[in-house]
């Protein structure tokens, strides 16, 4: 049997439990909505404007840097697993690999993109 | 029909359905979330192919990072939350025709190709895919150059994206 | 083989026999048994989760020199159940303009992402859950689903605070996932596998904490940020963002976020103990009985959880800019440097005696940490001088 | 570190330096040049270590340094990348490393490092000078860091090319240099002429590159490998030579060789693709030196020398090569006589000298070509850098007088710089003498002599005669240049105030002058009278010759080529000095000549026999007619020509014959198509995408239809 | 056992859906979403060929990982371009961008 089937079971059970709990709340809780209740919460005062707000470009940069390092990790995990059996050259390869990416990180940092301005 | 086949059909159907929703959803955030569903389906397909590592990587990279990037980009390029107007361009029929033709062409090719009846060999016991992947990625006899070049590619992407999107000039 | 040595197997075989006896297909009965096992595990987790509420409240009370819940039941032990009843019978409101499906899916995904981690957590030598060879990455994958649930919650609520809070939380989570990835590679290098059980088995000599104390520390910091707990809880800084992404949630949906967070903290305590403190291992005691192993693991996980609480109730909230700069400029390079140094030392000391290996690793950690701190210190001194210089100039003008 | 690993590392420092400068040090000029020069130095160090180790290996030709790794899987085989240093590679690496390092150093001074920023300078234009305490002084280049980034990338391309073990990586380096030469020639991009020159250089070399790529593809399809060591085995060469290509009756080897040679024709500015090189003088002078001496044009010749075993398989190809080389040599030399711009003279001179090498290869003088390649690189780099130094000194004078109308590059504005700029003068003199082939002491003499001896020894008398005449012109224009620039008295106020350049510029001159003299001594022929027995054997011939499987025979010693080269060199030099020693200005030049006609009776003879015809031929026939009219015309007016042909057809064929049917002729039809197809180009990417897919389907369908029918 | 053709057909369908998205959506972000689907379809093919070919030869998975890297780079730069265009022209509609028109 494929071991991932068990993981799928975990997923199913992991979904059932919260759904059950929320359903319980739905069944036992009162349901008396009114316009004021359904307003969005803004510290008790009337909501102002749309929920949309101007976002900082930095959000994109963080996700971007994360994406890059994420993909990097994808390459490095097999490397880390096999490292014990490989020689020092593999370590050097890894060091080169990471250093190249760190250059990008430094670039983004020098550009002031990693700061929350 | 075996259990595996049933699972595959269900997963593939759901994946393609959410794929269709990706390209037809009006709301871009919804499209991005449907993309997540599609990619998750693809991850399950990987597990059916015994490529557990690929499945996890799929979730980590696509759902964990690329989907987030998409959502951030949508938030950065949208003035109002609700989408209005058509989401398909005026040439959508041509695009649809091309897509159908592509599928038809690929399908026709698959039908005539001789390798389809191939059966998958059992994965040998004790064969560690990840370790083998690591060995091949670092071996000068195999893929060490793509491995390092991938790093350069990512660097270029990072520098390029940072420069493009947020050049102060 | 008896019940005390391998309770799961005995119970599973017995149940399967029963089901097959009822005329069920063998595979179906197997799947059903596994399903029941998983269900049992998750139920136990939920019960522990309920008690975590009590523990959390008791501990925070101690930190704040209070007594905490003490009315319901002995030591207020029944208090969390009262909390749950309250959550269940509360009205569940959905704000206008919310995206219903996404809004309702978010808390489910949030809880699911936490529970799924336990798929790869070995709780005893014979109870390995699922023996995946990608355990460490699986952890990150479930984290990705958690991140997604937060973004969904924040976006679908149609609320400024929820949106900003959610986005901030996501920014923090993705930022701190990078050093976490790097430190996850350290146990992987030591054990030569991403399999959680292999990582535990590899710690029969020394705990990886001894080999890489700095790695354990970085992992803990990243984990706390990942959890969104103090001092990294600015996504729900009450004074500015109400309750962050969960602002609009009420009743059991909020309960799911809350319970998910607590369980997540415990989970990270457990993962931390697995990666760096030998998991269910404790000087051979785990071999006596699986039940003892579970207790050992639970104790270690709770200890980890306690450390996380300790940090939470001791430290002040950090500003988001400081925190992100801290991550990108200090923690991420440090984590990668440490990972590479570990890889290098591993390659150099591979054939050395275990004692030398451990000593070399430990010392290399100390050296890397010392260098990092020295660099940070000199940089911050310069910054301070710059700021003070400005102040002095300003004073001179006055 | 093993030598093989070291070779891998040689090209890397400049690449890293490029990245560092572009990404980080763009703002800091000092840091930028420190990074770039350190990188060049590291590469130089690596190259020297490799070179020295190569010298220490017995039978180096049979056991070169080589290593390769798999790159791309292509079905069952791998496309490999690797490094190879054999004797030829080692010799080339030596001069490349030296010249690159010197040029890097020189650039610091040339771009006025340490001077104040200009008053009105802006990026894209050469610096115009700055005012300090009321004086106008040289100002620093505004795009200083960018320059170092570009030349670093350029150096990376060259090192890659030299150390590569296959045509694939060679071509990669080749194209990187093509890009960089475009960037560098158009470095002052705000000048329209510089832009045009950059585009011209890029497009012209591209023509050659396309053919070269075709040659590489053909070679790969025939042999399945691109690695030199694998191609140059008896077996494969024999196969290549025996397989007919189906074009012009050439064998596969011949056609591939010819295609690759066309690449060189573009890169090394051989006739008829030489037109870009003189225009390329628009770039900064270190660039001229890089492109014209050390790297790019040498790369073209280097590629042909590399492919010599393949080329020599086919007699016809060799004839073409020899013809093109010899023709280019004489034709460019005659043009050079008529130029007044100090850099342009050198540009034509380069074309001519490259023609020498190509011609040498064409007659099978493998070693002589390589030898001349190296000596030429040294003395031509020296001359370019020297001319840059002269221009720099003149600019100093221009700023002093404030008369910006004076062109600091025109030789007639100079004169008497010998006393103002002694180091530049003496080094330039050495370079010039080397170029002319001044007997015995200079490197140019030995290499040129070897080519002539080879031509004579192998009975290529036409080539021999052509090259000898070209050598005479070479000596003549070189002396003309030296005389006009340095000797006599200053012809302008600016020349009086010229000033010696800083040490960063003069040091490279001295170093290169050293090699321009001494490098020739390693290749003294064994049978040369007196000196031959002294040096015992021809070291260079032995060393480089062993690159080939069959070491080429050195030609028998003969007095005729030796005397010829003595006569042309000394005669040209003497004549040049004699004619130009008293010329005061351009106008005076003509006047002076007619005056001389009256005073010295011999001069009239020279005038009639040599100078006027040479001027006339150079100006009218070759420069104006062939160069500007025919060649430039064909290349640049291709569109108008078709248009003219179209209208001719219309006037003489369409209008009277088929006017009613075809309407206003082919041009109109093309115009109509253009007009009606124009809406397709909507600028919308998705529509392009759809269109390209439609094309794929149509073509794919057709192919499928044809293939299944067949 | 699932036949190889199922996987390939699935991948072809996914690819076509992505192609449709890339060809027909107006919003540039949505176009990139379509491209993601296409890349994923390719990856499914690569992994399927690995599984049904020589398992010990990891080329399929290696290529798939490299496609991950390419996809990441493509998305990063692509979205940055979209953001950049949005800042300059205040639109994310691909059809409204025809500066390269004749």
Whole-number average pLDDT of chain D: 77
CA distances, D340 to each of C190, D113, D337, D443 (Å):
73, 29, 9, 26
Q: Which residues of A touch D23 (CB under 8 A)?
A: 103, 107
Q: Which residues of D touch E95 (CB under 8 A)?
A: 684, 686
pLDDT digits 0-9 by tens, C68-95? 787 877 887 888 888 888 888 887 777 7
Q: What is the mean pLDDT of residues C111-133?
A: 81
B83 has a pLDDT exceeding 60:
no
Give residue D195's region: left, alpha or beta (phi > 0; psi -120 to 50).
alpha
Contact across the interface for C247 and A19, Cβ inside 8 Å: no
pLDDT of D597: 33
Q: What percent of chain D has pLDDT over 90?
A: 1
Which residue of E2, E21, E77 is in closest CB contact with B157?
A: E77
Looking at C328-332, D138-142, D306-310, which range is the least confident one? D138-142
Residues C212 and C79 in one domain: no
Buried b (16+ CB within 10 A) or exposed e, A37-67: eeebbbeeeebeeebeeebebbbbbbbbbbb
Which residue of B49, B58, B99 is in closest CB contact with E19?
A: B99
Q: Which residues of A touch B122 (CB under 8 A)?
A: none
Whole-number average pLDDT of chain C: 83
Which residue of A7, A50, A82 is in closest CB contact with B80?
A: A50
pLDDT digits 0-9 by tens, C339-371? 999 888 888 888 888 888 888 888 999 999 999
| CATH classification of the domain holding A20 | 1.20.58.1610
Chains D and C, touching by 3 or more CB pairs within 8 angstroms: no
Residues C266 and C196 in one domain: yes
pLDDT of D595: 33
- Bridging pattern class, strands D135-137 and D77-85: unpaired
Smallest CA–CA separation between A57 and chain E, in Å? 9
| Number of folded domains that form chain A | 1
Which residue of D678, D682, D686 is in closest CB contact with E23?
A: D686
Q: Which structural domain, as residue segments, surrounds residue C36?
A: 1-89
pLDDT digits 0-9 by tens, D83-105? 888 888 888 888 888 888 888 88
Contact predicate D223/D311, CB 8 Å: no
Q: What is the mean pLDDT of residues C89-104?
A: 80
User: Best residue in A93, A103, A109 to probe D by mutation, most D CBs within 10 Å?
Assistant: A103
Smallest CA–CA separation between A20 and chain B, in Å? 22
* Residue C151 confidence class, pLDDT cut points 50, 70, 90: confident
Contact predicate C253/C157, CB 8 Å: no
pLDDT of E44: 93
Contact across the interface for A57 and E80, Cβ inside 8 Å: no
pLDDT of D293: 64
Give the integer Cα–Cα distance in Å for D668 and D687: 27
E42 has a pLDDT exceeding 90:
yes
Give the integer Cα–Cα distance in Å for D340 and D632: 21
| Number of folded domains that form chain C | 2
Show me where the domains of chain D are located: 582-636, 638-709
Q: Which chains touch C (3 or more CB pairs under 8 A)?
A: A, B
Q: Is residue A115 part of a domain?
A: no
Give residue C126's region: left, alpha or beta (phi > 0; psi -120 to 50).
alpha
Instruction: Using CA coordinates, name the residue in chain E closest to D674.
Output: E102
Smallest CA–CA separation between D698 and chain B, in Å? 11
Distance from chain centroid for Cα D495: 30
- Bridging pattern class, strands D65-74 and D77-85: antiparallel
Sign of CA dihedral D269, D272, D273, D277: positive
CATH entry 1.10.287.3510 includes domain E4-96: yes
* Residue D658 confidence class, pLDDT cut points 50, 70, 90: low
pLDDT digits 0-9 by tens, D109-137? 888 777 777 777 777 777 777 777 777 77
Domains, chain B, in order of start with CATH, read 1-81 (1.20.120.1200), 128-169 (no CATH)
Contact across the interface for D686 and E22, Cβ inside 8 Å: yes
C386 has a pLDDT exceeding 70:
yes
Among C69, C89, C109, the domain-final residue is C89
Give the DSSP letter string of D401-421: H--TTS-TTBGGG---HHHHS
E102 has a pLDDT exceeding 60:
no
Q: Is D681 on the interface with E (CB under 8 A)?
A: yes
Contact predicate C183/C335, CB 8 Å: yes
β partners of residue D135: D132
Q: Which chains touch E (3 or more CB pairs under 8 A)?
A: A, B, D
Give the integer Cα–Cα distance in Å for D602 and D594: 12
Give the integer Cα–Cα distance in Å for A81 and A104: 25
Q: What is the mean pLDDT of residues E17-36?
A: 88
Name residues whose C-beta falls within 8 Å of residue C304's C-beta, 6 or more positions apart in sequence. C266, C268, C269, C270, C272, C273, C277
A108 has a pLDDT exceeding 90:
no
Percent helix, strand, coil in chain C (nearest 5)? 75, 0, 25
pLDDT digits 0-9 by tens, D385-444? 888 888 888 887 777 777 777 777 777 777 777 777 888 888 888 888 888 887 777 787
Contact predicate B143/E62, CB 8 Å: yes
DSSP three-state, residue B121: coil
Q: Which residues of C touch B36 (CB under 8 A)?
A: 148
D660 has a pLDDT exceeding 70:
no
Give the integer Cα–Cα distance in Å for D119 and B88: 55
Contact across the interface for D687 and B140, Cβ inside 8 Å: no
Instruction: Using CA coordinates, name the residue in chain D closest to B89.
Output: D686
pLDDT of B75: 82
> Please, which residues 41-60 of chain E have a Cβ atom closer than 8 Å to chain B?
43-44, 47-48, 50-52, 55-56, 58
* Residue B52 confidence class, pLDDT cut points 50, 70, 90: confident
* pTM (two decimals): 0.68
Smallest CA–CA separation between A13 and chain B, in Å? 17
CA distances, A82 to each of A87, B145, C209, D663 (Å):
10, 17, 21, 75
pLDDT digits 0-9 by tens, D157-216? 989 988 888 888 888 888 888 888 888 888 888 888 888 788 778 877 887 888 888 888
Sign of CA dihedral D364, D367, D372, D374: positive
Instruction: Using CA coordinates, name the residue in chain B closest to E25.
Output: B88
Chains E and C, touching by 3 or more CB pairs within 8 angstroms: no
pLDDT digits 0-9 by tens, A33-49? 777 666 666 655 555 55
Q: What is the mean pLDDT of residues D314-323?
A: 83
User: Residue D558 burial by CB count (10 A; 0-12/13-18/19+): exposed, middle or buried?
Assistant: middle
Could you say which DSSP state residue C328 is in? I
Most confident listed range (C190-199, D607-616, E91-100): C190-199
CA distances, D72 to each of B132, C383, D11, D222, D230 (Å):
19, 49, 21, 19, 17
Contact predicate D146/D18, CB 8 Å: no
Q: Which structural domain, as residue segments, surrounds residue A26?
A: 4-110
Smallest CA–CA separation between E72 and chain A, in Å? 7
pLDDT of D637: 58
pLDDT digits 0-9 by tens, D215-265? 888 888 888 778 888 888 877 778 777 777 666 677 778 888 888 888 888
Q: Which chains touch A (3 or more CB pairs under 8 A)?
A: B, C, D, E
Q: Is A36 on the interface with E (CB under 8 A)?
A: no
Q: Considering only CA atoms, which of A53, B24, A54 is closest in space to residue C158?
A: A53
Contact predicate D25/D148, CB 8 Å: no
Alpha carbon dihedral D240, D243, D246, D247, in 10-degree steps, equals 30
Contact predicate C356/C349, CB 8 Å: yes
D601 has a pLDDT exceeding 60:
no
Q: Which residues of D touch E85 (CB under 8 A)?
A: none
Contact predicate C216/C276, CB 8 Å: yes
β partners of residue D79: D72
Contact across the interface for B56 and C158, Cβ inside 8 Å: no
Q: Is residue A91 part of a domain?
A: yes
Selected residue with higher pLDDT from C274 and D671: C274
Among C44, C69, C89, the domain-final residue is C89
Chains D and A, touching by 3 or more CB pairs within 8 angstroms: yes
Q: Which residues of C touch A90 (CB under 8 A)?
A: 347
E95 has a pLDDT exceeding 60:
yes
Contact across the interface for A71 and E69, Cβ inside 8 Å: yes
Smallest CA–CA separation between A89 and chain B, in Å? 9
Give the integer Cα–Cα distance in Å for E92 and D321: 56
Q: Is D698 on the interface with B (CB under 8 A)?
A: no
Chains B and E, touching by 3 or more CB pairs within 8 angstroms: yes
Give residue D450's region: left, alpha or beta (phi > 0; psi -120 to 50).
alpha
CA distances, D146 to each of B167, C323, D143, D290 (Å):
18, 36, 5, 16
Smallest CA–CA separation between B165 and chain E, in Å? 5
Residues C327 and C229 in one domain: yes
């Amino acid at each position: 049997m494929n071991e991932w089937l068990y993981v799928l079971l975990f997923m199913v059970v992991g979904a059932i439990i919260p759904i059950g709990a929320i359903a319980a709340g739905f069944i036992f809780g009162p349901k008396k909505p009114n316009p004021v209740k359904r307003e969005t919460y803004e510290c008790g005062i009337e909501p102002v404007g749309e929920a949309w707000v101007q976002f900082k470009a930095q959000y994109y940069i963080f996700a971007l840097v994360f994406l890059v390092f994420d993909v990097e990790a994808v390459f490095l995990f097999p490397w880390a697993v096999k490292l014990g059996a490989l020689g020092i050259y593999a370590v050097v390869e890894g060091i080169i690999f990471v250093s190249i990416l760190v250059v990008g990180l430094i670039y983004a940092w020098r550009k002031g993109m990693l700061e929350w301005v | 029909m075996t259990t595996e086949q049933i699972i595959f059909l269900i997963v593939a159907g759901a994946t393609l359905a959410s794929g269709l929703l990706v390209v037809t959803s009006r709301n871009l955030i919804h499209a991005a979330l449907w993309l997540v569903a599609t990619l998750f389906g693809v991850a399950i397909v990987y597990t059916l192919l015994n490529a557990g590592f690929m499945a996890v990587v799929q979730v980590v990279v696509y759902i964990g990072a690329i989907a987030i990037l998409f959502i951030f980009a949508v938030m950065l390029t949208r003035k109002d939350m609700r989408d209005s107007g058509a989401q398909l361009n005026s040439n959508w029929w041509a695009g649809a025709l091309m897509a159908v033709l592509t599928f038809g062409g690929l399908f026709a090719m698959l039908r005539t190709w001789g390798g389809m009846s191939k059966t998958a060999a059992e994965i040998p016991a004790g064969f560690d895919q990840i370790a083998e992947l690591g060995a091949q990625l670092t071996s000068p006899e195999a893929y060490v150059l793509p491995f390092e070049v991938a790093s350069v590619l990512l660097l270029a992407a990072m520098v390029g994206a940072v420069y493009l999107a947020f050049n102060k000039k | 083989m008896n019940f005390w040595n391998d309770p799961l197997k005995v119970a599973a075989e017995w149940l399967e026999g029963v089901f097959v006896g009822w005329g069920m297909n063998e595979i179906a009965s197997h799947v059903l048994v596994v399903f029941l096992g998983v269900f049992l595990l998750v139920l136990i987790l939920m019960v522990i989760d309920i008690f975590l509420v009590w523990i959390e409240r008791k501990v925070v009370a101690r930190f704040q020199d209070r007594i905490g819940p003490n009315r319901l039941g002995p030591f207020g032990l029944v208090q969390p159940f009262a909390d749950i009843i309250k959550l269940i019978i509360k009205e569940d409101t959905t704000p206008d303009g919310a995206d219903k499906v996404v809004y309702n899916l978010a808390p489910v995904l949030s809880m699911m992402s936490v529970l799924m981690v336990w798929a790869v957590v070995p709780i005893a030598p014979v109870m390995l859950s699922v023996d995946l060879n990608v355990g460490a990455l699986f952890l990150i994958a479930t984290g990705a689903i958690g991140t997604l649930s937060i973004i969904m919650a924040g976006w679908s609520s149609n609320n400024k605070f929820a949106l900003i809070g959610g986005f901030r939380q996501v920014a923090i989570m993705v930022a701190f996932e990078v050093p976490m990835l790097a430190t996850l590679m350290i146990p992987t290098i030591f054990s030569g596998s991403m399999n959680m059980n292999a990582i535990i088995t590899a710690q029969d000599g020394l705990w990886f904490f001894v080999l890489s104390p700095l790695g354990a520390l970085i992992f803990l910091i990243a984990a706390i940020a990942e959890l969104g707990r103090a001092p990294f809880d600015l996504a729900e800084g009450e004074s500015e963002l109400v309750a962050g992404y969960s602002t609009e949630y009420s009743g059991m949906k909020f309960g799911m976020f809350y319970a998910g967070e607590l369980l997540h903290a415990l989970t990270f305590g457990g993962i931390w103990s697995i990666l760096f403190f030998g998991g269910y291992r404790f000087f051979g005691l785990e071999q006596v009985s699986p039940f003892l192993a579970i207790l050992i693991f639970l104790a270690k996980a709770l200890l980890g959880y306690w450390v996380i609480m300790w940090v939470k109730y001791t430290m002040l909230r950090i500003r988001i800019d400081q925190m992100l700069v801290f991550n990108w400029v200090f923690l991420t390079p440090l984590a990668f440097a440490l990972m590479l140094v570990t890889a290098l030392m591993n390659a150099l000391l591979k054939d050395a005696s275990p004692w030398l290996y451990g000593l070399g690793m430990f010392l290399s950690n100390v050296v890397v940490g010392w260098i990092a701190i020295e660099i940070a210190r000199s940089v911050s001194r310069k910054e301070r001088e710059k700021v003070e210089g400005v102040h002095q100039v300003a004073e001179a003008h006055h | 570190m093993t030598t093989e690993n070291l070779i891998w590392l040689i090209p890397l420092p400049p690449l890293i330096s490029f990245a560092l400068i572009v990404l980080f040090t763009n703002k800091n000029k000092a840091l930028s040049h420190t990074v770039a020069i350190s990188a060049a130095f590291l590469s130089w160090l690596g190259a020297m270590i490799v070179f020295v180790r190569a010298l220490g290996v017995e039978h180096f030709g049979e056991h070169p340094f080589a290593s390769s790794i798999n790159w791309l899987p292509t079905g069952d085989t791998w496309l490999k990348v690797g490094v190879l240093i054999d004797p030829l590679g080692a010799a080339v690496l030596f001069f490349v490393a030296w010249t690159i390092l010197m040029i890097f150093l020189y650039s610091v001074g040339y771009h006025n490092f340490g001077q104040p920023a200009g008053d009105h300078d802006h990026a894209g234009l050469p610096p115009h000078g700055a005012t300090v305490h009321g004086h106008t002084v040289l100002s620093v280049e505004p795009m200083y860091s960018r320059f170092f980034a570009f030349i670093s990338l350029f150096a990376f391309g060259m090192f890659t090319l030299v150390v590569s073990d296959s045509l694939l990586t060679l071509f990669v380096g080749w194209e990187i240099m093509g890009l960089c030469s475009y960037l560098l020639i158009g470095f002052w991009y705000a000048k329209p002429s510089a832009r045009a020159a950059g585009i011209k250089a890029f497009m012209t070399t591209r023509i050659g590159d396309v053919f070269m790529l075709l040659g590489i593809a053909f070679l790969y399809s025939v042999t399945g490998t691109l690695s030199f060591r694998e191609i140059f085995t008896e077996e494969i060469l024999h196969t290549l030579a025996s397989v007919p290509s189906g074009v012009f009756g050439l064998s596969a080897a011949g056609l591939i060789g010819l295609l690759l040679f066309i690449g060189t024709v573009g890169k090394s500015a051989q006739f008829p693709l030489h037109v870009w090189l003189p225009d390329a003088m628009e770039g900064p002078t270190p660039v001229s030196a890089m492109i014209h001496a050390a790297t790019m044009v040498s790369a073209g010749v280097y590629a042909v020398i590399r492919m010599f075993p393949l080329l020599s398989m086919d007699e016809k190809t060799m004839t073409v090569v020899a013809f093109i080389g010899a023709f280019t040599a004489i034709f460019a030399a005659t043009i050079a006589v008529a130029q007044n711009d100090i850099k342009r003279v050198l540009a034509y001179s380069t074309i001519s000298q490259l023609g020498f090498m190509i011609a040498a290869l064409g007659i099978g003088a493998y070693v002589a070509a390589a030898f001349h390649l190296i000596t030429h690189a040294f003395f031509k780099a020296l001359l370019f850098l020297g001319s840059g130094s002269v221009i720099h000194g003149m600019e100093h004078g221009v700023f002093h007088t404030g008369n910006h109308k004076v062109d600091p590059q025109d030789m007639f504005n100079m004169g008497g710089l010998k006393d103002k700029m002694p180091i530049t003068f003496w080094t330039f003199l050495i370079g010039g003498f080397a170029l002319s082939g001044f007997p015995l002491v200079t490197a140019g003499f030995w290499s040129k002599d070897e080519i002539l001896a080879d031509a004579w020894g192998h009975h290529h008398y036409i080539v021999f005669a052509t090259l000898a005449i070209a050598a005479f012109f070479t000596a003549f224009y070189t002396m003309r240049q030296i005389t006009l620039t340095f000797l006599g008295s200053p012809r302008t106020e600016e020349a009086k105030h010229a000033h010696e350049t800083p040490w960063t510029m003069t040091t490279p001159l001295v170093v290169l002058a050293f090699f321009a003299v001494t490098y020739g001594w390693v290749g003294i022929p064994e049978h040369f009278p007196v000196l031959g027995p002294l040096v015992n054997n021809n070291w260079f011939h032995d060393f480089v010759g062993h690159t080939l499987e069959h070491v080429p025979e050195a030609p028998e010693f003969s007095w005729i080529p030796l005397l010829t080269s003595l006569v042309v060199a000394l005669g040209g030099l003497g004549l040049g000095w004699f004619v130009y020693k008293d010329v005061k200005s351009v106008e005076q030049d003509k006047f002076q000549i007619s005056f001389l006609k009256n005073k010295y009776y011999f001069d009239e003879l020279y005038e009639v026999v040599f100078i006027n015809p040479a001027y006339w031929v150079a100006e009218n026939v070759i420069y104006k007619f062939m160069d500007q009219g025919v060649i430039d015309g064909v290349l640049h007016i291709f569109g108008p020509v078709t248009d003219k042909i179209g209208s001719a057809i219309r006037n003489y064929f369409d209008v009277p014959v088929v006017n009613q049917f075809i309407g206003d002729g082919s041009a109109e039809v093309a115009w109509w198509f253009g007009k009606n197809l124009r809406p397709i180009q909507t600028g919308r990417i998705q529509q392009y995408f759809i269109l390209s897919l439609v094309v794929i389907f149509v073509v794919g369908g057709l192919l499928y239809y044809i293939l299944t029918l067949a | 056992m699932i036949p190889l053709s199922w996987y390939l057909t699935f991948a072809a369908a996914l690819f076509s859906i992505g192609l449709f998205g890339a060809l027909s959506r107006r919003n540039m972000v949505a176009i990139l979403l379509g491209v993601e689907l296409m890349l994923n379809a390719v990856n499914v093919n690569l992994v399927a060929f690995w599984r049904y070919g020589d398992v010990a030869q990891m080329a399929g998975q290696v290529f798939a990982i490299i496609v991950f890297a390419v996809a990441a780079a493509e998305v990063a730069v692509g979205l940055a371009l979209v953001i950049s265009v949005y800042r300059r022209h205040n639109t994310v509609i691909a059809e409204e961008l025809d500066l390269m028109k004749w």
